[in-house]
Amino acid sequence: MRYVGFSEFYHDGALSVINEDGTIEFASHGERFSKRKNDPVIPDSLWDDYTTDKDHISFYEDIELRKKHREKWDSTRFKEVATITHTASLEVPNYNVLAFDQQHEHHQSHCASAFYTRPWEDKDDTVLVSIDGAGEVQCAVIYDSNFNLIKQWQYPKSVGMVYTTCTKELGLRPLEDEYVVMGLSSYGSPISSLVNSLMQWYTDIPYMNPDYLIGGEVDTGEGKIGIHAMTRIMRDAVEQYDDAEVAASVQAFAEWAILDIMKEARKHGRKLCYSGGCAQNVVINSMIKDMFDDVHIAVSPTDAGSSLGTAAMSWAEATGKDRLVWTPYLGYNIKGDVNPKEVVQHLLDNKVCGLANGKAEFGPRALGNRSLIADVRYDVKDTVNTIKRRQKYRPFAPAILEEFADEYFDGHMNEYMQYTSTAKHDYASVTHVDGTARVQVVKKDCESIFRKVIEEYYEKTGVPMLLNTSLNIRGRPMVNDEHDARLWEQKYGVKVF
């Protein structure tokens, strides 16, 4: 039996396949095949090529629970909130016509994607946390290692929604550019009055109950404090303050709110498995890391990763096992024969090139198999941002051989770019304005050709790291297959190996 999980219909649709022995056979975002960024729909080709009619199929949300609450929303009042995402109006098919065998709740799927890929064997003293915009009704949860609910935060008490609303009001793409806001926040200082207003709103907002219309307002006697109140706070802030100050204020609020959830979680376990969209905030992740003995963050913490989570829950229930055999390289396989010496020589001559080889990474980060890489000895930040059509203030990550990581950086780092650390070097191309970097530690057993490329580069230059960013253009999915790679090379004039 194989266990297939899918997330679909809201944003970032994805498909994952787990074999009975616990190996992940395939996992990919639908956007990589449809070529539409954050595509909520999984292309038919993915179903046709990677699944069979004998597979056990599970869905990442409880549709009936979602509909139970959302049928109570007043459509006109909800309209403003729904426009946060261009896919919010997509209709979820009727429960009875969807072809799946099982469904799990939204935050269960999130947590499962982290829990079943954790690096430690036992599950004792392990606590699970998921934080995002909203699932069926929950915005954040704490579970024990048996998925018993310890505590929940229900809509509209949502850290993720505050961050997404800020993204939208700053003129960026919500549910896509939140990490741009995080990068921008380093250029400004928090406005205390704005931070306090957001904290007060979050503290005062009541949990949703079955009679509460999410899109509306609640009158507590102190005035209306519904979701629109938070939107108005953000709109007023954008009019009054510099964008970087607004971003810094929202980041400060998110730190306060998320760390408060984590303080509660720490009471229930020394080891943390963490997922949900907010788990992409690498600045806060570094703070969380100091609170626990061990932390494992899902390599794909968004809704796409929940396709793996829901499949893993079905697999665990059927087999009684609780750890998967996995790598981050789970997608479409480009079977190429890349010569690291040729790649490095091209870098030395041209400073920039692409790598598209092996199985595509699952998750938001390119880890060497679908990467745009550059020679860190030169300040190529503007060059690469121009190629990718990105804002000039956006930072880039360094990828470094693990044995040199502590020599060049101080702080938390791992192989999945999930933390920030302080640079101890002078290479500006991979250092953010605040002196930090989101480091990719490239381990000796790394499956990607990227390890051999960096080793060759080190041999030639004496520098053990390269700039690494995803092989895509802003607003477009990463290069996925051979055709994508050739088109990239032709259109942008950058050699892809």
* pLDDT tens per residue, range 419-476: 999 999 999 999 998 999 999 999 999 999 999 999 999 999 999 999 999 999 888 8
458 near 341, Cβ under 8 Å? no
What's the confidence (pLDDT) of residue 68?
67
Contacts of 131 (CB under 8 A, 6+ apart): 139, 140, 159, 160, 258, 261, 276, 277, 278, 279
Q: Which of 126-135, 177-186, 278-287, 364-373 has the lowest mean pLDDT?
A: 177-186
For residue 85, pLDDT over 50 is answered with no
C-alpha 465/C-alpha 402 separation (Å) is 10
How many other CB atoms are found less than 10 A from the CB of residue 176?
A: 18
Which tens digits make up the pLDDT trace of 29-65? 999 999 999 899 899 999 999 999 999 999 999 987 7
pLDDT (average), residues 90-113? 77
For residue 378, pLDDT over 70 is answered with yes
Which tens digits make up the pLDDT trace of 157-177? 899 999 999 999 999 988 888
Q: pLDDT category, 12, cuts 50, 70, 90?
A: confident
**Sheet with 370-374: strands ordered across:** 352-356, 370-374, 465-470, 397-401, 440-442
Q: pLDDT category, 390, cuts 50, 70, 90?
A: confident
For residue 3, pLDDT over 50 is answered with yes
Tokens of 380: 């190529």
142 near 212, Cβ under 8 Å? no
